[in-house]
Amino acid sequence: MASISLRSVQKAYGDHAPVIRDVDLEIGEHEFCVFLGPSGCGKSTLLRMIAGLEDITDGDLYIDGKLVNEVPAAQRGVAMVFQSYALFPHMTVYQNMAFGLTLAKTPKAVIDKKVREAARVLQLEALLERRPKELSGGQRQRVAIGRAIVRSPGVFLFDEPLSNLDATLRGQTRVEIARLHKQFDKASVVYVTHDQIEAMTLADKIVLLHAGADTAKYGSIAQVGAPLDLYHRPKSRFVAGFIGSPRMNFMPARVMSANAQSVLIALDGTGEQIEVHANGDALMPSQAVTLGIRPEHLEPIAGNASQQQIRRTVSLVEQLGEHSYLHLEQAGGAVLIAKAPGDRTPKQGENVAFSVPTASCHLFTEDGFAVTSAAIPHFA
């Protein structure tokens, strides 16, 4: 069991600007923490710093309360599962899983007990005498996970472990990892992915990292929180646009009036007026802002004048069965996406009214930060 603490951690290569900047983060015992972000944001670099595979340029790293900046990787009590399975092709599943313990000169009886218990948990008991070439991709990944489990580490580190699997195996293995975490005896998990579905379904805590170009301006961490916190209460336009699929819709607007409870805006190009529950004390009339609303919150309606709404023409319909995604024409060439029930889908070319629920709207200033919400309900 181990907690992890990063304090003002930075990483730079030579004289170049830091690729990891100003990271302050606490990961508790038995917490499943996911590092999420676009390619090049430093997710794997940060993970490798925890593992001891990358030096820390500045700041301090504590594992289980002990400063480990200068502690070798093998002595940190962590086990890492890589994107590549990294299995020895000439060894059996049993031998691959036992390899680390054999190097550590662990007694054979202890090795056998740990390997067979890990194999039982991972449903590999019938495969122990097979070699990697005789296994599927999902089975190979489970062997790699088993090799980490037998070491009984305080911290498990996963570096995009599912990226080499097809969609079906990714789903299956994701469920297995979630199940395994519940069986870990207080061990912490740090998991790197660019797949937000993995992040949303697995994480107790998501650490969303900025894209590399934004790191110097904002720091490496865009937002830390539970999955639904990032989804419903993003702190910036970057977070709002990264979390959610399809991504949040953004519409340029101008402030008409504002107070501590709400902001009234007019959408550019249409003049449609939208009220947003937010603290607008710092906003000024005519100030440029951006309205954000997720596709599932744009609901086709019959044009009821009592509901806050916008009207758009449907340019494309993506029918997925249970629901459909409607691509809506917008001034300036941008496209909005709305989610509609699969059995009540407007047709291409149809001009449709969509409700815009006040409590589901997000407002962002020109620098990309969210205007503090005063009334968005608590969903977590």
Question: Are residues 42 and 145 located together in one domain of the fold?
Answer: yes
The strand pairing partners of 25, in sequence order, are 6
Q: Does 23 lie in the same domain as 147?
A: yes
Token pair of 221, please?
Answer: 């961490």
User: Nearest Cα to 327, choosing from 302, 345, 305?
Assistant: 345
| 188 in a structural domain | yes
Q: Residue 372 falls within a domain, yes or no?
A: no
Give the residue from 216, 241, 266 where a domain finishes: 241
Q: Which domain holds residue 348?
A: 246-365
CB-CB contact of 302 with 289 (8 Å): no
What's 267's domain CATH number? 2.40.50.100
Question: Do 95 and 180 fall within a single domain?
Answer: yes
- What pLDDT, on the 0 to 100 scale, is given for residue 377? 43
Whether residue 209 sits in one domain with residue 263: no
pTM for this prediction: 0.87
DSSP 247: P
| Cα distance between residue 105 and residue 348, in whole Å | 68
Same domain membership, residue 159 and residue 255 = no
Specify whether 272 is located in the same domain as 329. yes
* pLDDT value of position 242: 93
Give the CA-trace dihedral at 107, 111, 114, 119, to 10 degrees: -170
Q: Is residue 179 domain-shared with residue 259, that is, in the same domain? A: no
> Given 241, 257, 282, which residue is the final one in a domain?
241
pLDDT at 239: 94
- Max Cα–Cα distance, the chain, nearest Å: 77
What stretch of H or E contains 85? none
Is residue 374 domain-resident?
A: no
CA–CA distance, 106 with 109 (Å, rounded to integer): 8
Question: From first to last of its 380 residues, what are the pLDDT tens digits of the chain?
Answer: 689 999 999 999 888 888 899 999 999 998 999 999 998 888 999 999 999 999 999 999 999 999 999 999 888 889 888 877 788 999 999 999 999 888 888 999 999 998 998 888 888 899 999 999 999 888 888 898 888 888 888 898 999 888 877 777 788 788 888 888 887 767 899 999 988 889 999 999 999 999 877 777 778 899 999 999 999 999 999 999 999 888 999 999 999 999 988 999 999 988 899 999 888 888 999 999 999 999 999 988 876 666 788 999 999 999 888 899 999 988 777 889 999 888 878 888 889 999 999 889 999 999 999 997 544 443 33
301, 195: one domain: no
295 shares a domain with 259? yes
Contact (CB, 8 A) for 20 and 11: yes
Q: Are 210 and 252 in the same domain?
A: no
Angstrom distance (rounded) from CA 207 to CA 309: 34
Contact status, residue 97 vs residue 118, Cβ threshold 8 Å: yes
377 in a structural domain: no
Q: How many domains does the chain have?
A: 2
pLDDT of residue 142: 85
Q: What is the DSSP letter of 71?
A: S
The last residue of a domain, from among 241, 269, 285: 241
What pairing do the DSSP bridges indicate for beta strands 323-329 and 309-319?
Answer: antiparallel
C-alpha distance across the termini of the chain, in Å: 27
For residues 60 and 187, state if they share a domain: yes
